[in-house]
A and B are shown apart, each in its own frame.
Chain A
């Protein structure tokens, strides 16, 4: 089977750095993606790691280690607008089916 595990909630203060982890059990996949979803809104794509290592996009960075079956999303200089749910996702090879984790709810406090 394939599954992705994330913490259900994370709380941090404005201006801080927060890391959201994602561990997975899957026989194989192309890469690890991250999506952001505000309450009542649509998920939007944040980042993709096809290879091991760190990918940086502005205040957001994402990391993948296939040997450790582990990835994370790093958010720097947190802003109130970053309060949202964050989902990790993978697509196993051989198909078009993307599997999502249950999501991590991030609360940013002033």
Chain B
């Protein structure tokens, strides 16, 4: 079955540590996204990528980095510069069709600070 796979489901970060969240899709979608969700709040865009080897900052990119070396993969690194990383991270992909964009989400990664 096609879909988006995020791993790990739970991740713990120590002070000063960089951690990488994995996101893989087999939907053949061009666009991929990373969102952050804090308890009881909406989704805020961290980074997005329209094509391989290209990505743009979203609304809260500081302290995060991404790469898009393959169409299927869009990993997110939470760097030590991100001082408040505890949140639920969601990866998504889409193939926009004339604006009727439908986002497909992975099951998320809950990141916590030790």
Contacts and interface: CB of A to CB of B under 8 A. Distances in A.
A48 B96 CA distance: 12
A30 B42 contact: no
A12 B45 CA distance: 31
B50 interface: yes
Interface residues of A, number: 26
* Interface majority SS (helix, strand, loop, mixed), chain A: loop
Contacts, number: 65
A44 B101 contact: no
Contact of A91 (B35, B41, B56, B101): B101
Given A43-B90, A44-B105, A97-B58, A50 B42 contact: no
5 contacts: A44-B105, A48-B102, A91-B101, A96-B94, A97-B56
B99 A42 contact: no
A30 B99 contact: yes
A92 to B, nearest CB: 10
B42 A101 contact: yes
Contacts of A102: 41-42
B101 A43 contact: no
B84 interface: no
Interface string A79-110: 00000000101010100111111110100000
* Interface majority SS (helix, strand, loop, mixed), chain B: loop
A50 B100 contact: yes
Interface string B63-103: 00000000000000000000000000010001010111111
A87 B43 contact: yes
Interface of A: 8, 30-31, 33, 35, 40-45, 48, 50, 87, 89, 91, 93, 96-103, 105
A98 B103 contact: yes
Given A35-B103, A96-B96, 16 more contacts: A30-B101, A33-B102, A40-B108, A43-B90, A44-B105, A87-B42, A93-B99, A96-B31, A96-B101, A97-B45, A98-B33, A98-B94, A98-B101, A98-B103, A100-B35, A102-B42
A4 B5 CA distance: 29
